[in-house]
A and B are shown apart, each in its own frame.
Chain A
Amino acid sequence: MNRYILIGGSAGSFQSIVKILNQLPENYAPPVFLCLHRLKHVRGGFVEALSIKSKLKVVEPEDKDSILPGQVYLVPANYHMYLEVGNSIALSTEEAKNHSRPSIDLMFSSAAFSFREKVVGILLSGANKDGAEGMKDIKLYGGTTIIQDPKEAAVPVMPQAAKNTTEIDHVFTIDEIIDYLHTQNF
């Protein structure tokens, strides 16, 4: 695969993610990985809500599932998700990071290590710093770092924390993120 699209978000990000997914075409090639802070006891509903207008299939993977092109993977509640060399998914019940399980940092870092310059990390609205260290790793390994413009984000703490931690390639509105994902020749 040429690219792995990783999107992290928390408070205020859900509608943005729905909008992004709705705009991706049916034949979109890269796999997309969503790490959203979510209630740990709520197992269902998220995939269904994201799937309503998405042309791509949205799934909550199981441990050791293969990564397939054009599929959207949502991290299951109360697990961390790692992307492994060999194009498979590894889940984990390890301790919360930044009070979060799933942790955006851990997903981003694992992908950066495994897929290096092929990773596009996108960090949206959220109320804590989860994702900032992960974005640092994406940059370290040659990937592309994008944050939602803090001026647009419902809660700017998360994208701002990433901006304070590492070099960000693009500060985009949601419409600009959609445009970017469309126009890059992935």
Chain B
Amino acid sequence: MNNFRHISLYDIRMFTQVLKEKFLIDFTEYASTYLRMRLENFMSKWNVSSLDSLLIRMQDNDILLNRLIEALSVETTEMFRDPSLWRKLYATYLPKINSSQINIWLPDITSDDELYTLLVVLDRLNLLDKTYILATSAYKVNLDRTKTGEISMKKYEVSNDNYKRYMQDNEASLDKYFVFSDNKAYFSQELIERVNYAVLDVLVRMPDRTFDLVLFRNRMLYYSLNLQNKILERIYPAIAKKRYLIVGFKENISRFAFSDHFKFDDKEDKIYKRVK
């Protein structure tokens, strides 16, 4: 580790390599700045002076390992982030999917926000019974966290504010989807149980069906460009033709080898339609 208060990119590279080889956790091709900052915060929180020391402490310590995975898995901020997108899904895209079952996939889930938001929208549309929702992550700890339903009150308040914007109604409230206890908010277990969860690394294995909608917002931010393209190459065949991939407002798939298999259906909210 160098003398500065930051860790070097070289140290990070070595660390992620050992993490992959020894602990089977792969962050080798993740974006460098967020990874460095998260590792520095983690080391500070756990009072670890170097990445080498962290590796030693993680041996036979699954709790610390899981905490590290959680620390490096960035949450997607809040429910109903980008309310305009969710209004479009509610008003147009979801009702338009004219099939006996709607199949939706959320790959590489790190937190609950997008999933809970989707569940609320589907509930309001009365579409839950005919929707198959798959939420996957390469790490069980991320799925376990999502299944608890727990969010902080601060996040709940921000989400509720977004919900009012989504509903375009200052009186609207997410309250009916939550129970509150010990200064925390817990999302409806009944809705959480409607989801199918699977530990799945898309680089190794894919779901066994195609999907009408793949919701993949603000995940690629944390991948290197190379990893982004590798994962898109795996995901895109799972999107049924004439169906949709949604990425984050400031993400794009233009550098992806098969980007010409998609065209914008909604450029403002980054809804791509698979055309080939």
B203 in contact (CB, < 8 A): no
Q: Is the CB of B33 within 8 A of A43?
A: no
The reply to whether B33 and A62 contact each other, CB–CB distance below 8 Å, is: no
Q: Once the chains bind, are B4 and A62 in contact (CB under 8 Å)?
A: no
On whether the beta carbons of A78 and B77 are closer than 8 Å, the reply is yes
Chain B residues with CB below 8 A from A34, complex form: none
Asked if residues A92 and B34 are in contact (CB atoms below 8 Å), the reply is yes
From A97, which residue of chain B is reached at the shortest CB distance?
B37
B221:A110 contact, CB within 8 angstroms: no
Q: For the complex, what is the distance from the CA of A67 to the CA of B121, rounded to whole Å?
A: 38
User: Which of B4, B36, B222 sits near A140, CB closer than 8 Å?
Assistant: B4
Q: Are A113 and B36 in contact (CB under 8 A)?
A: yes
- A90/B34 in contact, CB under 8 A: yes
Closest to A79 in B: B250
* Mask of A103-114 contacts with B, CB within 8 angstroms, 1/0: 000100110011
The reply to whether B33 and A113 form a contact with Cβ atoms under 8 Å apart is: yes
CB distance from B8 to the nearest CB of A (A): 9
Smallest CB-CB separation from B219: which chain A residue? A93
User: In the bound complex, do residue A94 and residue B74 qualify as a contact, i.e. CB atoms below 8 Å apart?
Assistant: yes
Q: Does B165 belong to the interface (CB within 8 Å)?
A: yes
Q: Which residue of B lies closest to A111 (CB)?
A: B33
Nearest CB in chain B to that of A84: its residue? B33
B81 contacts A by Cβ under 8 Å: yes
Kindly state the separation between the CA atoms of A63 and B218 in the bound complex, as whole angstroms.
10
B252 contacts A62, C-beta separation under 8 Å: yes
CB-nearest residue of chain B to A92: B34
A84-B32 contact, Cβ under 8 Å, with A41-B165, A79-B250 = yes
Whether B6 contacts A113 by the Cβ 8 Å rule is yes
Q: Say whether, besides A78-B81, A90-B34, A92-B74, A85 and B250 are in contact (CB < 8 Å).
A: no
Residues of B within 8 A of A4 (CB): none
- Number of B interface residues in the complex (CB < 8 A): 29
Contact with A along B186-209 (1 / 0, CB 8 A): 000000000000000000000000
Report the Cα distance A180→B165, complex, angstroms: 44
> A120 interface residue, CB < 8 Å from B?
no
Asked whether B144 is an interface residue with its Cβ less than 8 Å from the other chain, the reply is no
* Residues B221 and A93 in contact, CB atoms below 8 Å apart: yes
Q: A64 at interface (Cβ–Cβ under 8 A)?
A: yes
Select which of B37, B81, B250 is within 8 A of A63 by beta carbon: B250
B251 at the A/B interface (Cβ < 8 Å)?
Answer: yes
Q: Are A91 and B36 in touch, CB under 8 angstroms?
A: no
Give Cα distance in the complex from A43 to B74, angstroms: 22
Chain A positions within 8 Å of B37 at CB level: 106, 109-110
State whether A93 touches B74 (Cβ < 8 A).
yes
Q: Which A residues are CB-close (under 8 A) to B248?
A: 63, 93
What chain B residues lie within 8 Å of A109 (beta carbons)? Answer: 37
B221 and A85 within 8 A (CB): no
Asked if B31 is at the interface of the complex by the 8 Å CB criterion, the answer is yes
Kindly state whether residue A76 has any CB partner on chain B within 8 Å.
Answer: yes
Tell me the complex Cα distance, A90–B36, Å.
Answer: 13
Q: Are A43 and B249 in contact (CB under 8 A)?
A: yes
Residue of A nearest to B161 (CB): A41
With CB as the reference atom, state the residue of chain B lying closest to A86.
Answer: B32
Asked whether B33 lies within 8 Å of A90 as measured between CB atoms, the reply is yes
Residues of A within 8 A of B32 (CB): 84-85, 90
A82 lies within 8 A of chain B by Cβ: yes
Among residues 89 to 146 in chain A, which have CB atoms less than 8 Å away from a CB atom of chain B? 90-95, 101, 106, 109-110, 113-114, 137, 140-141
Q: Which residues of B contact A106 (CB under 8 A)?
A: 37
Q: In the bound complex, do residue B250 and residue A91 qualify as a contact, i.e. CB atoms below 8 Å apart? A: yes
CB distance from B78 to the nearest CB of A (A): 9
Q: 9 tightest A-B contacts by CB?
A: A82-B33, A93-B218, A93-B77, A110-B33, A62-B250, A90-B31, A63-B221, A91-B250, A76-B250
List, sorted by A's number, 17 A–B pairs whose CB atoms are closer than 8 Å: A41-B83, A61-B250, A63-B252, A64-B225, A64-B255, A76-B249, A78-B77, A82-B33, A84-B32, A90-B33, A91-B250, A92-B33, A92-B34, A93-B74, A93-B81, A94-B34, A113-B36
